[in-house]
Amino acid sequence: MQVPAHVEYEKATSVEHALSLLVRYGPEARVLAGGHSLIPMMKLRLAQPETLIDVNGLSQLSFITEANGELRIGALTRHAQLLDSPTAGRHFAILHDAERVIADPIVRNWGTVGGSLCQADPSEDLSAAFAALKASMVIRTPDGSRTVPARDFHTGPYETVVAPAELLTEIRIAIRPGGGSAYAKVARRVGDWPVGAAGVAIWLDGGTIADAGIGLTAVGAEHFAAAEAEEFLRGRPATEASFARAGQIAAEHCRPSSDQRGPADYKRHLASELTTRALRLAMRRAQRQDTPAGTAPGRPTGTAPGRPT
Ligand SMILES: Cc1cc2nc3c(=O)[nH]c(=O)nc-3n(C[C@H](O)[C@H](O)[C@H](O)COP(=O)(O)OP(=O)(O)OC[C@H]3O[C@@H](n4cnc5c(N)ncnc54)[C@H](O)[C@@H]3O)c2cc1C
């Protein structure tokens, strides 16, 4: 039986209270959100916090709103809420694509968006989705707040820029005209972590790609992004040839490792193929010729056992 070490418990009643508790208990305290990552790690003694600061009562951190030309997502928003949000899906289909294939309903009902990002697992799906969308993370500090680009948020596997006395409170995504987005993932089985996944956001100006964001997860991409492929796409025609080349560039610049989920060369192949597929679907969505996720040719979203085709 796996039993966590002894731990003190405090229930925060407001964001300010949570921050004061984090200051009081110091670096050995940990925020408890959905607990789907933290509690298993405590059971395995991979994490041994002295105090848990439970933020589950902070309803002010659970929201999805549109304000000032941005989509704003509270850190305590559950995966299931994001999946159910028409506002999020209307502006950024990538979020629904990704949430549909994150874990299972039990994890999605309790796990939070903020917890996923702060866990900083190198295979986290939302890290790639928010990197593609060029989102910003709002972090509350004891003295105020600061905003960090998604691509600067993770400093390494299981590490973020959130300091021990700080709290991630919100994710913001600019809503820009001409945009379309999509997420494509391959996992070994339904509800599993990705073998590889790609998230894409493109903004069209007529038939030209004005801007592109490409996020990759589980394939060793720096900052969960494929910056070189994005650079290639900017100003190019939104064609199959551009998408295929961008996929190749994305694959060339990631550094997957072989593990129980698959060999490195297969993951590199996935980076290329899934980037191309997500670009194709994102373009269709940008052109308002949306195809429901999972039904487009080549199954661009959803989990497929083994190879993606
Ligand atoms: C069976 C299973 C399958 C899964 N499959 C997938 C998958 O396919 N894809 C995927 O991406 N993920 C997957 N996950 C991971 C899951 O999405 C995340 O573990 C979970 O959502 C983390 O969120 P949480 O709210 O449970 O975080 P917690 O476990 O509560 O916290 C995780 C970490 O983040 C910190 N933290 C939490 N919130 C904040 C905050 N607001 N500010 C600062 N620090 C904070 C905690 O202190 C802790 O260190 C899976 C998990 C399980 C258990």
* Contact by Cβ (8 Å): 229, 253: yes
**Residue of the CA atom closest to atom 38 of ligand 1:** 115
- Closest residue by Cα to atom 1, ligand 1, is 103
Query: What is the CA(113)–ligand 1 centre distance, in A?
Result: 8
CATH 1.20.1050.10 applies to domain 179-293: no
- Ligand 1 geometric centre to CA of 108 (Å): 10
Quickly name the fold that domain 60-175 has. 3.30.465
Nearest CA owner, ligand 1 atom 17: 116
pLDDT band at 1 (very low <50, low <70, confident <90, very high): low
Q: Residue 184 in contact with residue 90, Cβ under 8 Å?
A: no
Best residue among 2, 19, 30, 31 to mutate for probing ligand 1, ranked by most atoms within 8 Å of CB: 31
Higher pLDDT, 291 or 265: 265
Residue among 200, 175, 214, 216 at smallest CA distance from 285: 200
- Angstrom distance (rounded) from CA 163 to CA 83: 29
225-241 pLDDT, tens digit per residue, is 999 999 999 999 999 99
Residue with tokens 């972590």: 193
Q: Which residues of 7-46 are buried (b: 16+ CB within 10 A; e: fewer)?
A: beebebeebebbbebbeebeeebbbbbbbbbbeebbeeee
User: How far does CA 95 lie from the centroid of its chain?
Assistant: 8
Helices (DSSP H) in 211-258: which residue ranges?
A: 227-233, 240-252
Q: List the domain boundaries for the chain.
A: 8-54, 60-175, 179-293
Question: Which one has a higher pLDDT value, 2 or 22?
Answer: 22
Model confidence at 25: pLDDT above 80: yes
pLDDT tens digit sequence for 243-283: 999 999 999 999 999 999 999 999 999 999 999 999 999 99
Asked if 8-54 and 179-293 have one fold, the answer is: no
The overall average pLDDT reported for the chain is 93
Higher pLDDT, 33 or 1: 33
State the Cα–Cα distance between residues 89 and 112, nearest whole angstrom: 17
Asked if residue 172 has pLDDT above 90, the reply is: yes
- pTM of the predicted model, to two decimals? 0.93
| Measured distance CA(70)–CA(37) in Å, rounded | 29
Q: Which residues line ligand 1 (CB under 6 A)?
A: 30-38, 75, 102-103, 107, 111-112, 114-116, 118-119, 124-126, 162, 167-168, 192-193
CATH fold for domain 8-54:
3.30.43
Q: Which of 109, 110, 118 to mutate to test the pocket of ligand 1 (most atoms within 8 A of CB)?
A: 118
CA of 56 to the centre of ligand 1 (A): 13
- Residue 288 confidence (pLDDT): 77
Q: Name the residue with tokens 């990002």.
A: 117
Q: Is the pLDDT of residue 290 over 80?
A: no
